[in-house]
Structure 1
């Protein structure tokens, strides 16, 4: 089973800069140069150096929540001051969320107060992923996290302790082109867990890298 926080790994041209941006925005600290650690209820973010250019659509983006009405604008203003910019992904003017991108173009949404789905999830409320229902079921079993949403091919899982949800939007799923720039990462206590993940439908790509049933790469580290 998963040991410690779930983390999202993001490719970056300047990992230290992106780590500082997200640590300042989330109110966390940077450790080990480019890790913004999570905890029992909030996922962490880790930035790794990559020279590859962004191609196609990202398969994962983050949702930041608002406790009261004024929080949304405060978060947007803070993000812009730290180096974010507005991003047009085809959202409609009447949609209440605000789409931004971090200094290297990673999209994230600032959600207004009153969103029932993200109530009680904390500031980093959701990692929203492109993926099938089957992959949502895989991740529920892989992480040992309960399935907290399963409707019309959309799924979401959440730690038993609560906090950040990880969701998959169902079809249509965009074609995968090359290695994902954002990938999940976690630690397990027992090497046998790698075999368990394969039995659940993962594919072994390298010593610590597997792919879920949709082909999305993820990293598994064995403690010890």
Structure 2
């Protein structure tokens, strides 16, 4: 892509919680530009595709992973004139919040792909550091006003598992009793099952499923400190 040609691309911020740490899916580029550097999964939109189709295709091609029915949304558009040395490229960032997916497998123009703890991620290719930062902040804000935190959990989970999601995404510790009171008193957030945890130390804990509610009223705001 050279000269005055204009292209549209998609870049994906895929976030999960692994070992109680917020992690993002990154690829190591196998071709120029930025060959050998870490980047978000993504690529150019094909003529017959809409943006979501492109996002899902690029994820499968570069990492071997599929989002299935997991949450995927448009994040923002990024169109700085110098963001891509190949020419003028407008990229539409996408955000996905997923439970712990398998380890990815590199493919297409990616030399490698892996989950990376967000706190340890350094510089990224293109303007992907900015895109990743906006995706993380969007995820943090969504946990204040929506029930999407449960997206990071398995189909059945404990309140403690859900709390650890909030702690990982927000990067702060939460009071267990206050958290349990808030989430269990929000209509439609959690649906108790008849099952209890049967492994581990301590008393068995109630297992829940994600309820039909999509918003939190009142919101569960982060500590401003």
Q: TM-score, normalised by structure 1?
A: 0.27
Tell which structure's C-alpha radius of gyration is larger.
2
In proportion to residue count, which structure has more helix?
2
